[in-house]
Amino acid sequence: MRVLFNFLFLFLILVGCSQENAKTVGYLCPSINRARFVNEGNYMEERLKELGIKMITKHADDDDALQLQQGYELLNQGVDALIIACVNGNTIAPLVREANRRGVKVIAYNRLINNTEYDLFVTGDNADIAKLFVEATLSRRPRGNYVVLAGDRFDRNGFEVKFHIDSLLRPHIEAGRINLVYESYIEGWSGVRSRFEMQQVIDAHGTDIDAVIACSDPMGLGALEILDRYGLKGSVVVTGQDATIESVRSVYRGEQTMSIYHPHRALGHKVAELTSQLLGGSDASQLSNAQTFNGVFRIPTYQMKSIAITRDNLQELVDIGEYSWNEIRN
């Protein structure tokens, strides 16, 4: 009996020590309405759990002040790392500096945090994303009137993708094959704003439009709403990004031409693994495959490739379990 008691006592001590030493990660998600960030956060949590790490998620409703408050709450709860998909890459900097002061690891996810130092930036390859947009559009409309609806100018991704789109289109514009009718950044990558801008284009330039390079799925769908009013849906090339189910269905119906898919499971799992390695003492410079200048510092960066989804390769989304054919055809 005494042996059994001693065993149970030792077991409880070991369990208590294990729980006490377990790591906790906070994930600051910009909004519960941002499907991509929610999905990838779920995969982060799934993989972190497998690695013995707890994750706490906070959704900020696209409010940078709320996200800042949530971040301080997580720090006060004693998290060991923060994964931040920021609402605003500038206003979040004080939180990052406080995390650094407390010895908390910081990973900027998908959206660059500016003007402060932190451990790692995990993102897509914006030059490659721009290439996917332009190649898909030029292959279908090598000549004609183009509209470019870029992402938010205050989001590094929006600025960089547009920079690369401009560079790739320039030779075609200078050769007279492409006429750039209109270009604009879209605040918040918003479908509502995209609808407004698309209507402005048609009011000013008419309906002679061959392609709309829209840099997010909500923006692409917003442009399609306006094009549909003029009987142009399906005849104008329209792009998007994130492979949301609404856009994938539109691609299936032959309306939206393509969307760029960031493999949610692979991304979420990779972020979790990189976070675990940082917590285990790995050097961020050894985990990175690039660097990104954030205005003051060169941040070690891990870039992942994305996939262009068209009507011809929707099966890939089914094969990896992102959607079923029933969901796509709904």
Predicted confidence (pLDDT) per residue in 225-261, tens digit: 999 999 999 999 999 999 999 999 999 999 999 999 9
- In the predicted model, what is the mean pLDDT of the chain? 93
User: What is the pLDDT averaged over residues 4-8?
Assistant: 50
- What would the pLDDT profile of 73-126 be if each residue is shown by its tens digit? 999 999 999 999 999 999 999 999 999 999 999 999 999 999 999 999 999 999
- Do 16-118+264-300 and 126-262+309-329 show the same overall fold? yes
Kindly give, in sequence order, each residue whose CB lies less than 8 Å from that of residue 62, ignoring residues fewer than 6 positions away: 30, 31, 33, 34, 87, 188
SS (H, E, C) the chain: CHHHHHHHHHHHHHHHHHHHHCCEEEEEECCCCCHHHHHHHHHHHHHHHHCCCEEEEEECCCCHHHHHHHHHHHHHCCCCEEEECCCCCCCCHHHHHHHHHHCCEEEEECCCCCCCCCCEEEEECHHHHHHHHHHHHHHHCCCEEEEEEECCCCCHHHHHHHHHHHHHHHHHHHCCCEEEEEEEECHHHCHHHHHHHHHHHHHHHCCCCCEEEECCHHHHHHHHHHHHHCCCCCCCEECCECCCHHHHHHHHCCCCCCEEECCHHHHHHHHHHHHHHHHCCCCHHHHCCEEEECCCCEEEEEEECCEEECHHHCHHHHHCCCCCHHHHHC
The topology (CATH level 3) of 126-262+309-329 is Rossmann fold (3.40.50)
Residue 155's pLDDT is: 86
For residue 264, give Cα distances in angstroms to 113, 150, 190, 260.
21, 22, 21, 12
Hey, where are the domains in the chain?
16-118+264-300, 126-262+309-329
User: What is the pLDDT averaged over residues 295-313?
Assistant: 96
The CATH number of 16-118+264-300 is 3.40.50.2300
Helix-helix angle 35-50:264-279, to 10 degrees? 50
- What would the pLDDT profile of 153-195 be if each residue is shown by its tens digit? 888 899 999 999 999 999 999 999 999 999 999 999 999 999 9
State which amino acid sits at residue 37.
F
Residue 14's pLDDT is: 46
Residue 40 clears pLDDT 90, i.e. is over it = yes
Tokens matching residue 203: 């009011």
Residue 97 near residue 119 (C-beta atoms within 8 A): no
Percentage of the chain modeled with pLDDT above 70: 94
C-alpha to C-alpha distance for 292 and 127, rounded to whole angstroms: 13
Beta bridge partners of 56: 26
